[in-house]
Amino acid sequence: MQNCPMADRRTATRAIHAGERKPPADFIPVVTPIYSDATFVYDSLESIDKIAGGERHGFTYSRHDNPTTACFEEAVADLEEASVAVAFASGMSALYLALLAAGAQKGSRILAARDLYGVTVKLLTDVCGASGAEVRFADTMDLAVLEKEMAEFRPTVLLVESISNPLLRVCDLEAVCAAARRFEARVVVDSTFATPVLVRPLALGADLVVHSATKYLGGHGDLVGGVVAARESFRQPLKYFSRLIGPVLGPFEAWLARRGMKTLPLRMERHCANAARVAAWLDEHSQVERVNYPGLASHPDRALAGRLFEGMYGGNVSFEIRDAGREQVFQFINALKMCVPATSLGDVHTMILYPAISSHRDLAPKTRERLGIRDNLVRLSVGLEDTVDILEDLGQALGLLSAKSA
């Protein structure tokens, strides 16, 4: 039985079949098993020597490569239309290794989007900056401002998010990558919120794409992992830093992530459809001051999102509760009966997060305020439940908050 050729298959088919059915012997498993081996042996030392020297494909030591992890990596590379993908133990380790592979080392210059995940900001300032890289933040949504910053700063690496966390701004990836090319900067895109179902940044000019596999790729809240997909020219540095530093994804987590990816296109359709309905409902609610969702006509990037994505607008919604402070936000979240208050996103169940105490906790209050992350902002990762149940839960919690303020 031959592997199903993937080049001419559509996304949903590729999500299910890519990387699977590699024969370990004279039989072919339908689903790649969990290879929990640390090491692998061959009939002759010459085989190990050739694998170590890159003369033939194979597995010798799971810090270098593992068959289960390789299956997951191949699937990600296929969906992202990448030459290579390398999996890591978390999304943050994946991001750090992507930056290293892109050249973010001592003496380099990193230009990053101003609106980023809070822990990413700390990684840039406290790790990359402390290691000798110069870090600067810019408004990457304003192309004229970005061009000016790049002309002045001459960055080695440009880091953006396809959909920003938590304000859900949409990056004009094609325009940003074109600008970066003019200044010979390498582009790293964190595309966790979008997934390859909505957009494939490499096809628009990016060099490396990062995902927290903990989120939509895995999709079920049962693993922590990350992955980088990249152009061929970054294969060697990605593999080198992965083997040298060793933040590899274990085979159990890789197996779970690969299993989750098989339903990724189907799940994303439902996530996006549910999120669109929830966003529209929140936008009409008297207790809600502002809703951030790329699918709303009021969103500043609505036209761009419509052009960039595959007819969907993501599964996350953030919104500001009218006249609420920290105490009122706590009351609202504590009143929810089905939506889960948890510091993640992209699971099958709906999850709610308060950025001020979680994703952006490490940022000073004044910095959060300057970025537009106010103390009344919450982020909702809309799950796969019936939207009636999601809206009923949000409605009763907002209603209790309204009654207390009356």
The residues annotated as belonging to the active site are 63, 117, 190, 215
- Report the C-alpha gap between 284 and 290 in whole angstroms: 10
Written as six digits, the tokens of 110 are 């990193």
Distance, C-alpha 218 to centroid of its chain? 11
- Is residue 69 a contact partner of residue 226, using CB atoms and an 8 Å limit? no
- Report the C-alpha gap between 204 and 230 in whole angstroms: 13
Site of tokens 């600067």: 136
For residue 224, how many other CB atoms are within 10 A of its CB?
A: 20
* Cα→Cα distances 388→267, 275, 338, 391, Å: 18, 12, 12, 5
Handedness of CA 124, 128, 130, 135 (dihedral sign): negative
DSSP H helices in 291-349: 302-308, 326-335
- Report the C-alpha gap between 268 and 271 in whole angstroms: 5
Pairing state between β 226-230 and 84-88: antiparallel
User: DSSP letter at 323?
Assistant: T
Site of tokens 């529209």: 280
- Report the C-alpha gap between 119 and 224 in whole angstroms: 16
- Report the C-alpha gap between 373 and 377 in whole angstroms: 6
C-alpha angle with apex 202: 261 to 383, nearest 5 degrees? 35
- Report the C-alpha gap between 381 and 275 in whole angstroms: 8
Written as six digits, the tokens of 297 are 């006509």
